[in-house]
């Protein structure tokens, strides 16, 4: 079908791609706005590029895996006394 009128179908395809791109941009903006509304409603701070005290920020110099390992060790340390408790 596209071989009988290639320019017509190319125009339709380009138009459809442009419309899809415009819709995707609007959808992304709406999702971002909804995300920010939810963050404000739940009073979540941070997440911005200018937030210096965010967990795993680049100026700390430690990778996220190291942070996860440290948190796992802290959780294990907290659980060990509970297992030994004779309750």
Q: Model pTM?
A: 0.45
pLDDT at 68: 82
Asked if residue 47 lies in contact with residue 54, where contact means CB atoms within 8 angstroms, the answer is yes
Q: Six-digit token pair at 39?
A: 């963050």
- Spans in the chain with pLDDT lower than 50: 50-58
Cβ count near 67 (within 10 Å): 13
For the chain, the structural domain boundaries read 6-47+57-84
């Amino acid at each position: 079908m596209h071989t009988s009128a290639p320019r017509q179908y190319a125009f339709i395809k380009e138009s459809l791609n442009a419309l899809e791109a415009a819709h995707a941009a609007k959808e992304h903006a709406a999702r971002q706005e909804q995300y920010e509304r939810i963050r404000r409603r739940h009073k979540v701070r941070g997440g911005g590029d200018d937030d210096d005290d965010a967990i795993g920020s680049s100026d700390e110099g430690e990778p996220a895996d190291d942070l996860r390992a440290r948190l796992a060790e802290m959780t294990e340390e907290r659980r060990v006394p509970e297992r030994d408790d004779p309750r």
